[in-house]
């Protein structure tokens, strides 16, 4: 039995909710079975949710969330802005592309764990998560911007000139419009990776009052429900910010 596009669109929220319920059930029954042979038990879904709700009741928890959000967003915004700039420069100036290519490849290929440790040698732990997020976001947005510019159809640009469009109008109405889908994909992907890498940097460097430090402390004290609850917080924050970014992008297009 096949489902039409319209039916699939209507069923999408129900299917998404169903998939979440399915994997929570897998988590519950899987952990319940495995816990019979473990000394340190895997927290069940309801235990994780209970710990999450208890955390949400404390002011210090929300301060911790705010600190981590500021860390990651600062790195993401800096990386995205510079990535767009470098993407345009790479396509416009051949020498810039040649001389910046080694840096682009280096940042893109070095494992995030190694990058965190290397950066930590010189960078204070308080700004390390922002720097790591920046370094993860930069090559992604850079590559997507370059790909978007390379895909611009010059015939459309020439047609705009025929209709007496100014260079400014051509840039915003033609070039930027054509690059926008590439940039949107790059930014959404980069935001997700910024969260993963930024929190990983917080776990390693443990800056005061961050989610990474809270996660590290919970692991050290063997408080596994708190470990799962903080991890759930990170997942929810990442999904929420990604949703906000998608929403803002749609609003800009209207």
Kindly report, residue by residue over 49-63, the tens digit of the pLDDT: 999 999 999 999 999
What's residue 82's pLDDT?
Answer: 94
Task: Tell me: pLDDT of 150 over 90.
Answer: no
Classify 7 as helix, strand or coil: helix
Task: Tell me: pLDDT of 142 over 50.
Answer: yes
Q: Which of 215, 229, 214 is nearest to 44 (CA)?
A: 229
Q: What's the helix, strand, coil split of the chain in %, to 5? A: 85, 0, 15
Q: Which of 192, 175, 195 is nearest to 246 (CA)?
A: 192
d(CA 118, CA 201): 11
Q: Please give the model's pTM, rounded to 2 decimal places.
A: 0.85
57-71, 92-106, 147-161: segment of lowest average pLDDT:
147-161
What's residue 71's pLDDT?
Answer: 92
What's residue 76's pLDDT?
Answer: 95
Kindly report, residue by residue over 68-98, the tens digit of the pLDDT: 999 999 999 999 999 999 988 888 888 888 8
- DSSP letter assigned to residue 163: T
User: Can you say whether the dihedral through the CA atoms of 22, 23, 27, 33 is positive or negative?
Assistant: positive
Classify 43 as helix, strand or coil: coil
d(CA 133, CA 197): 6
Tell me which fold the domain 43-253 belongs to.
MetI-like fold (1.10.3720)
Strands (E), 163-248: none
Residue 202's Cβ-side half-sphere holds a number of Cα atoms within 13 Å equal to 29
Task: Tell me: pLDDT of 4 over 80.
Answer: no
Kindly report, residue by residue over 195-214, the tens digit of the pLDDT: 999 999 999 988 888 999 99
């Amino acid at each position: 039995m096949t489902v039409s596009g319209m039916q699939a669109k209507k069923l999408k929220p129900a299917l998404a909710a169903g998939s979440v319920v399915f994997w929570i059930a897998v988590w519950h029954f899987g952990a319940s079975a495995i816990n019979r042979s473990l000394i340190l038990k895997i927290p069940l879904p309801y235990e994780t949710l209970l710990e999450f709700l208890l955390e949400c009741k404390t002011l210090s928890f929300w301060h911790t969330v705010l600190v981590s959000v500021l860390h990651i967003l600062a790195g993401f915004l800096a990386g995205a802005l510079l990535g767009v700039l470098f993407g345009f420069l790479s396509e416009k100036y051949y020498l810039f592309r040649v001389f910046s290519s080694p840096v682009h490849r280096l940042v893109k290929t070095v494992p995030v764990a190694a990058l965190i440790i290397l950066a930590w040698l010189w960078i204070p732990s308080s700004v390390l998560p922002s720097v790591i997020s920046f370094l993860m976001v930069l090559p992604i947005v850079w590559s997507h911007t370059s790909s978007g510019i390379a895909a611009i159809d010059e015939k459309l640009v020439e047609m705009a000139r025929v209709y007496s469009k100014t260079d400014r109008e051509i840039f915003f109405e033609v070039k930027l419009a054509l690059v926008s889908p590439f940039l949107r994909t790059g930014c959404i992907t980069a935001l997700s990776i910024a969260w993963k890498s930024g929190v990983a940097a917080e776990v390693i460097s443990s800056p005061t009052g961050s989610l990474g430090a809270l996660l590290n402390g919970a692991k050290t004290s063997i408080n596994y429900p708190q470990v799962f609850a903080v991890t759930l917080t990170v997942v929810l924050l990442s999904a929420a910010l990604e949703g906000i970014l998608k929403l803002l992008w749609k609003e800009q297009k209207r």
